[in-house]
Amino acid sequence: MERPRVGIVGASGYSGMVATRLLLSHPHVELAFCTSDKWTGDRVGARVGMPDSSHLAFVANGRAVEVSEGCRVVFLATSAEVSLELAPKLRARGVSVIDLSGAFRLRDVGAYPKWYGFEHHATEHLAGAHYGMPELFGPPPSEGLVANPGCYPTATVLALAPLLRAGLIEPTGLIVDAKSGVTGAGRQSKEAYSFTEVADDFRAYKLLSHQHTPEIAQACSVSSLTFTAHLLPVRRGILATCYAKPRANKEQLVAALRAAYERAPFVEIAPPEEVTLASVVGTNMCRIGVAANDDVVLIVSAIDNLVKGAAGQAVQNMNLMLGYDERIALSGLSRSTP
């Protein structure tokens, strides 16, 4: 049987490269095209360090719509502004889209100027976009537009939402203190992300203005929260520590998380001290742990920002869209430690 054809726009960014590797190893889909302006004409397999018997070559970003002909799904590993332009064009051709940017994550069209710096002009697609966190929002439809969640929201919402839904923590006064490796900023040449600037340092950024703040609040169904992002001097991984007021004891909190993720192959509940970057980097796993006393609940969550926080979750969504087991091409990924 002919395999569904898929493509990636923006395949030379960090998330795009991870998605490329995952799709090249996927047994049930054919990677039909990858776009990159800086690598146009280069062999895809050689650039991403994967065998590719098809000898697929990168094509220019400007050809994305043209080369999508015959594709079932196209991944957009692009900026929000680029995704906003491309997604409607691809959908008009009957191509399903999994967008790794924030262009279609927020339901409130009026929030985009404040948090993303542009007016949203594709409101019909915004209204129909599926928020692609399968563990909490169900599988995406078999065709359409999937707004792949952000990396910080993935770590945070998986930790908080089941407890909020169960009424086990207070929905007000939530604080999220999250740290990410440098790849979370994308493949940039800015001085602030150079080795000399990042190594042996640790800093907060986008204070009270991070674009993932409204996404987290929306996905958790709360009116507001305090979210602070920090830049770690490591390549990959996110560790989020979430603070809340308790309405239940630790045993009830842990039980609620276990029940919520009983059938979720990529979420693992663990002792909080064992929720580490090393335990998840390289995998599509999210590890969550809880500590609590009478005054405060701490929920600690860790993911790989490029896998579960981006490309891995996107492939997980594609698997579900196409009717495959969500674990295909993802379950064999290895952690960085035993």
Q: State the catalytic residues.
A: 151
Q: Please check whether residue 230 is in contact with residue 182, taking contact to mean a CB–CB distance below 8 angstroms.
A: no
β-pairing, 203-205 vs 145-147, is unpaired
Six-digit token string for 69? 């002909």
Distance of CA 224 to the CA centre of its chain: 21
Which candidate, 242, 213, 17, 219, places its Cα nearest to that of 133? 219
**Angle between the N-to-C axes of helices 250-260 and 151-165, in degrees from 0 to 180, rounded to the nearest 10:** 120
**Angle between the N-to-C axes of helices 212-220 and 151-165, in degrees from 0 to 180, rounded to the nearest 10:** 20
β-pairing, 286-292 vs 297-303, is antiparallel
Q: Please check whether residue 254 is in contact with residue 269, taking contact to mean a CB–CB distance below 8 angstroms.
A: yes
**Which letter, b or e, does each residue of 32-50 get, where b requires 16 or more Cβ atoms within 10 Å of its Cβ?**
bbbbbeebeeeebbebbeb
Burial of 230 (0-12, 13-18, 19+ CB in 10 A): middle
What backbone torsions phi and psi does residue 147 show, to the nearest 5 degrees?
-90, 100
